[in-house]
Structure 1
Amino acid sequence: MKKRTYLILFLGVALFLSGQFDQVQAVDSRVGGAEIDLKRFKETDSVIRDPEHPEIQVDPGETPQTEGDLRIDFVPKLNFSTVMISDKTAVFPVNAQLFHDQTEARGNFIQVSDYRDDSTGWTLQVRQEQQFKHTTKQGADLKGAVISLDQIWTNSTKNPSLSPSVSKEVIHMSNIGDTYNLAQAQPEKGSGTWSIIFGASKENENGRPNSLQKRLDVSGKEIEDPIFKKPVYSNQAITLSVPKETEKEAGSYSTVLTWILAELP
């Protein structure tokens, strides 16, 4: 039976790694011979890694996680910022991922760890449970609004040949309640800790195009994030499109995303 792990996250919009290696442990020896027990190293703590430099530990703040040898260590809290109401079709980029340490802004990412003894593979999926709903006015939805995911890539301290595969096409989450595949690791692949990333910073050394841009207010000044105390960046790799026909009420809107990590049979 295929095992699935579900992680549910709320997100909104306002309108106005550790590498895996084999550990050798000597457990007994005697004259004329010796015995050893080979154990596979397991990273039991969900250490969050810089998606562009996975050898470095980072602090993105609190995040929902799952447990076990196959788990989700981190998912992004997507925030599409405060934007002006428009009578035209509008596309809003998400805020990029910020950190409490010295790490610069990064593309939004999910971190998956697989430290099972048998690497049978896994799939990572996402599902939007409902349309964006006004947080205070009942019945006010952003009808037709669509989240799109693009520029997906992976990174790890592991050999790139072991990488899970990701979609090369833009994922338009146009059908509420449908489940969309983000990444899949075939058997013997995807072991250790992997970041599945949307976009990249201009400083990245992975050959990825820059998708981040500093957000400025109407006067051209930097916008500071009140939690991280750092400049806010937009990330064009994740967007929210709202049709011009959609009735828009000023205020905050939110939806629910469910992240699904399933082991392959």
Structure 2
Amino acid sequence: MKLITYFKCSLALLLFAGMTAAVGEQACASSLDGSGSVNVVGKDISPPVDPEKPGNEVNPGEGPSTTGDLRIDFVSSLNFAAAEITETNRTYDSLAQLFHSDTAARGYYIQVSDFRSEPSGWSLTLSQDTPFTSSIIQTLEDQSLKGAVLSFGNGWANSAGNSQTPTVSRDTLAINEMNTAYTVAVAGSGQGKGVWTIAFGASGENTSNQENTLTALTDKNGNAIIDPIFNKPSYSNSAVSLSVPETINIYPVQYTTTLTWSLEAAPTE
């Protein structure tokens, strides 16, 4: 039997002339697809945990999730900080994950749980369905940000359990082909059991020898930029970024795309 868990996330990029506010919002739904049957014998819910201190539960706000013994518990929202539109240097760093608690800012992360009685392994993949597009632009050829690339780097796995660690690619995952599944993490037989976080980027306080990819955001006067939802200082995360070619026209409109995360169980004999 092969079990596949999907969810699709709509990612929006809002651009303004002069000062740019690039903001991504996710609105996700989940569904299960596969043959055979699934018996739920493990924990039904695994609350989100701190990717740098996975023994600590955290409150990152609402996020998409799936159900079952093998499931996705949480995925960070993908947002981008305000930036000025220029003709060059069109790379936008994402915002770091914040929490409704004393937990400091963290990198973008996905939480996976595997509570199957016989964990045969799993794979986590990511694909982008379409380029960033805005249908309100009158010129058809300018409706898409052709060649814009979402990149995910500095990936690493963490857990409070003692299961063997799944493999996360250390190479930067650059999504330059639409509708192509890119492998994010793979757990072999006996690996990745329990609750695992797959993070892209880390704070300077991490104790796992991960590079610090977070930078505090300030305004032109050097004051901290406060996130209105979490009421905390905002940080950028250079591990996740969007690059837009200099040859592409950018308009002051909202562009959207859809990302698909897939968690697939390894086939059993």
TM-score (norm 2): 0.85
Task: Give the structure with the larger strand fraction.
Answer: 1
The answer to whether the aligner puts 1:146 opposite 2:132 as a matched pair is no
Aligned to 1:173: 175
Q: Aligned in 2, Cα 1:91/1:203: closer, same or farther, shift over 3 Å?
A: same
Residues 10 and 77 of structure 1 are in contact (CA less than 8 Å); yes or no, is this contact kept in structure 2?
no
Distance in 1, matches of 2:115 and 2:91, equals: 39
Distance in 1, matches of 2:101 and 2:43, equals: 22
Counterpart residue identity of residue 100, structure 2:
H
Distance in 2, matches of 1:76 and 1:254, equals: 17
Residues 51 and 197 of structure 2 are in contact (CA less than 8 Å); yes or no, is this contact kept in structure 1?
yes
Aligned residues: 240
Aligned to 2:208: 206
Q: Deviations over 1:129-185 (max 9, x none)?
A: 1111237546522221000111000000123x6010011211110011111000000
The answer to whether the aligner puts 1:247 opposite 2:249 as a matched pair is yes
Distance in 2, matches of 1:8 and 1:83, equals: 27
Distance in 1, matches of 2:63 and 2:208, equals: 26
Aligned to 2:37: none
Aligned to 2:44: 44
Structure 1 residue 91: Cα displacement: 1.1
Secondary structure, in 3 states, of the residue corresponding to 1:243? coil
Residues 110 and 197 of structure 2 are in contact (CA less than 8 Å); yes or no, is this contact kept in structure 1?
yes
Distance in 2, matches of 1:134 and 1:103, equals: 36
Residues 12 and 80 of structure 1 are in contact (CA less than 8 Å); yes or no, is this contact kept in structure 2?
no
Aligned to 2:3: 3
Aligned to 1:119: 119
Structure 1 residue 89: Cα displacement: 4.2
Residues 14 and 82 of structure 1 are in contact (CA less than 8 Å); yes or no, is this contact kept in structure 2?
no
Structure 1 residue 84: Cα displacement: 1.6
Secondary structure, in 3 states, of the residue corresponding to 1:169? coil
Instruction: Name structure 2 gaps, 5 residues minimum.
Output: 21-40
Residues 69 and 113 of structure 1 are in contact (CA less than 8 Å); yes or no, is this contact kept in structure 2?
yes
Q: Aligned in 2, Cα 1:56/1:8: closer, same or farther, shift over 3 Å?
A: same
Residues 13 and 81 of structure 1 are in contact (CA less than 8 Å); yes or no, is this contact kept in structure 2?
no
Range with greater deviation from structure 2 (103-112 or 89-98): 89-98
Secondary structure, in 3 states, of the residue corresponding to 1:134? coil
Secondary structure, in 3 states, of the residue corresponding to 1:162? coil
Q: Deviations over 1:41-97 (max 9, x none)?
A: 933222110000011000011111100000000111101222221111411110010
Aligned to 2:56: 56
Residues 46 and 195 of structure 2 are in contact (CA less than 8 Å); yes or no, is this contact kept in structure 1?
no
Give the share of equivalent positions with the same residue, in percent. 43
Structure 1 residue 218: Cα displacement: 2.8
Residues 124 and 259 of structure 1 are in contact (CA less than 8 Å); yes or no, is this contact kept in structure 2?
yes
Q: Name which one, 1 or 2, has greater alpha-carbon Rg.
A: 1
Residues 48 and 73 of structure 1 are in contact (CA less than 8 Å); yes or no, is this contact kept in structure 2?
yes
Instruction: Name structure 1 gaps, 5 residues minimum.
Output: 17-40
Secondary structure, in 3 states, of the residue corresponding to 2:239? strand
TM-score (norm 1): 0.86
The answer to whether the aligner puts 1:158 opposite 2:161 as a matched pair is yes
Q: Deviations over 1:208-228 (max 9, x none)?
A: 110000112233221111111
Range with greater deviation from structure 2 (245-254 or 186-195): 245-254
Distance in 1, matches of 2:261 and 2:191, equals: 20
Distance in 1, matches of 2:222 and 2:253, equals: 24
Distance in 2, matches of 1:130 and 1:47, equals: 31
The answer to whether the aligner puts 1:185 opposite 2:191 as a matched pair is no
CA RMSD for the aligned pairs?
1.5
Aligned to 1:221: 223
Counterpart residue identity of residue 241, structure 2:
T
Q: Aligned in 2, Cα 1:76/1:227: closer, same or farther, shift over 3 Å?
A: same
